[in-house]
Amino acid sequence: MTEEIKVDKVMDLKGLPCPMPVVKVSKAIKEVQVGQVIEAITSDPGSLADFPAWAKTSGNEILKTEQKDGLIKFYIKRKV
- Which residues lie near another protein (CB under 8 A)? 15-20, 22-23, 25-27, 53-54, 57-59
The SS3 of residue 59 is coil
Q: Which is nearer to another protein, 1 or 80 (CB)?
A: 80
Q: Give the C-alpha distances (Å, rounded to integers) separating 63 from 15, 17, 22, 34, 51.
A: 23, 23, 16, 14, 12
Q: Is 58 one of the catalytic residues? A: no
Of 5, 10, 18, 71, the catalytic one is 18
Q: Tell me the C-alpha distance between 13 and 42, whole Å.
A: 5
CB of 22 to another protein, least distance (A): 5
| Residue with smaller CB distance to another protein, 5 or 17 | 17
Residue numbers annotated as active site: 18
